[in-house]
Every structure is written in structure tokens, then in C-alpha cells.
Amino acid sequence: MDQSKKLAIVTGGGSGIGLATTEAFVKNGIQTIIIGRDENKLKEASSNLGELCAYRVYDLSETSGMPALISEIVASFGAPDILVNNAGINMKKPFTEVTDDDFKLIIQTNLNAVFSLTREVVKVMLPKGSGSIINISSMSSQYGIPYVIAYTATKSAIEGMTRAMATELSPMGIRVNCVAPGFIATAMSTKALSNDPQRMNKVMSRTPMGKLGEPADVAQSILYLASDAAKYVTGVVLPVDGGNSIGF
Ligand code: NAD
């Protein structure tokens, strides 16, 4: 796929699925700007990936600065063709121990930030009449998972928002899709599964392919949805999960 001359923004591009996506984009000639909080991780990714990867340090839980962030990126690089809303946080706690502040932080990072950033990016995609937005949901929106109430609320909302945005924006040339990763070997899943053999067994017992996915597995599906190969695909939620969502 020759995607050269395209410009992408990948949130949380310094680690895990976001980093693998950035690697796949850069390999395919896509200039990619990664946004995250940890300057060291971003700098390392950018210097490993070369001149097609630039970074901006920004805490996405702060939505008020997003118009200025996107304006600065547009002034420096032009209007993006691709936005991957990948950054996210999780919190595993029994339902009654989740405080209002815990709940709000997850909603702010995983949902409000996706809305605000996408709105600003869509404003600059509309005049071009083209764009591809890829949101990231989770198995928690395919079936019920205990101890992740706030995370589940955000990921279910992401899927609904994907469909609503796709119906509104596709007539203007902007495709909106979602990838629902299964259990993928990253820092996030390690935190959730490494000290919980019961949960790990449950994951494996319902994953027909019998193993965790790799970040690159998800990245390839994001690359496909971002590319012209998916030019008639909009509003879908694509599980990349080794069969986990259909496992018995
Ligand atoms: P990860 O923890 O490696 O990556 C998440 C990235 O988001 C990090 O780089 C982090 O710095 C960034 N981030 C978080 N909060 C941020 C903020 N406020 N501002 C800026 N950046 C912020 O985890 P991952 O597994 O690669 O997760 C990527 C996405 O995939 C997330 O949306 C996650 O919910 C989703 N997901 C992961 C799995 C899995 O098994 N790993 C499964 C389903 C969905």
C-alpha cells in the first residue's frame, strides 16, 4: 500500500498498540505525529523511527488546549488525513470501590478527549473532503467484564460515537471506524492480568487462537482502515481478538 504523502496523528503513540501503529504507518510512508504525556517515550520512538515521526507532548485529559494543539500541528505539517484515537487508561477495581473521581478521570481520558480532539481534527478535514478516523474500543464493549466499570462505559460509548460520527461525516468524505482489540500483550494488559491467574485463564479459555495478540496485529488492522484499501468501509467495529469475542 503506498500511502506516502499522507499525514496521521496517533494518540498514545509512544507505547503498545499506538507505537506499533506508528511503526506500521511510517513503514508505509505516512508522516505520523504521536501525541502523549511521556516526553522520553515519545522522543525515543521518534528518533528510532526517523524523520517521518514527530511528536507533541500533551496530556489528553486536558481538553481545553486541544484547539491550539491542532492549530499548531496544522500550521507545522498541514491538515491530517488520519486520526487514530488510541490513548487510553484502565482501572481494575470492585464496583463499589470506584470513586467519582476515578470514574471521571477514565471518562475524561478515554471518552471526552476522543470527542474534543476528533472535533478539532474534523474541522480541518472537512475543507479537504476526506479523512479517516479510527477509534479503539475493547472486548469490554462486546461482553461484560467485571471490575472495569468506567473503562467499559467509555469503550461502549466509543462504539456508539463511531457509528454516529460515521453516519454524519461519511457523506462529507470522512470515514470513521473502530478497532476492538482482544487481549494484546502491552503494559495495559500486563497490569490487568499478570497478578490474576484466574482472569488470565478465563481470557485464554475463551480465545480460540489460544494466545494473546501482539500490538502489530492491531496495528495492521488500523493501517488497513486508514488506507484507501478501505475506501468503502465506514462505521464498522472490527474485532482483532484471536476469536475472543466469539469464543465459547
Ligand atoms: P499502553 O498503556 O501501552 O498505551 C496507552 C498509551 O496512552 C500510553 O502511551 C499512554 O501514555 C497514553 N495515554 C494515556 N493517557 C493519556 C493522556 N491523558 N494523555 C496522553 N496520552 C495518554 O496500552 P495499550 O494496550 O497499547 O492501549 C492502547 C489502546 O488500546 C487503549 O485505548 C486501550 O484501551 C486499548 N485496548 C488495549 C487492549 C490490550 O489488551 N492491551 C485491549 C483492548 C483495548
Q: Is 178 in the pocket of ligand 1 (CB under 6 A)?
A: no
Nearest atom in ligand 1 to the alpha carbon of residue 11 is 21
- What is the model's pLDDT at position 5? 87
pTM for this structure?
A: 0.98
Residue 174 contacts residue 126 (beta carbons within 8 Å) = yes
What per-residue confidence (pLDDT) applies to 1?
A: 60
Q: Is the CB of 150 under 6 A from ligand 1?
A: no
Length of the chain as a residue count: 248
pLDDT for the residue 219? 98
Q: Is the CB of 75 under 6 A from ligand 1?
A: no
Cα(89) to centroid(ligand 1), Å: 6
Of all protein residues, the one whose alpha carbon is nearest to atom 10 of ligand 1 is: 12
- Atom of ligand 1 at shortest distance to CA of 38? 11
Give phi and psi for 179, each to the nearest 5. Answer: -110, 130
Residue 86 CB–ligand 1 contact under 6 Å? yes
| Residue numbers annotated as active site | 151
Span from the CA of 184 to the centroid of ligand 1 (angstroms): 11
Q: Enumerate the H helices of 127-196 as residue ranges.
A: 149-169, 187-193
Please list the residues that pair with 136 across neighbouring strands.
179
Q: Is 59 in the pocket of ligand 1 (CB under 6 A)?
A: yes
- Say which CATH superfamily domain 7-185+213-240 falls into: NAD(P)-binding Rossmann-like Domain (3.40.50.720)
Q: What is the DSSP letter of 96?
A: G
Distance 11 CA to ligand 1 centre (A): 9
CB 34 within 8 A of CB 42: yes
One digit per residue, the tens of pLDDT, for the chain of length 248 reads 667 689 999 999 999 999 999 999 999 999 999 999 999 999 999 999 999 999 999 999 999 999 999 999 999 999 999 999 999 999 999 999 999 999 999 999 999 999 999 999 999 999 999 999 999 999 999 999 999 999 999 999 999 999 999 999 999 999 999 999 999 999 999 999 999 999 999 999 999 999 999 999 999 999 999 999 999 999 999 999 999 999 99
CA distances, 235 to each of 122, 144, 227 (Å): 16, 22, 15
Question: Ligand 1 centroid vs 245 CA: distance in angstroms?
Answer: 20
- For CA atoms 224, 179, 13, 75, give the dihedral sign: positive
Domain boundaries, the chain: 7-185+213-240
Report the atom number in ligand 1 closest to the C-alpha of 14: 9
* Average confidence score pLDDT of the chain: 97
CA distances for 187 relative to 89, 102, 112, 181, 215, angstroms: 11, 20, 23, 14, 11
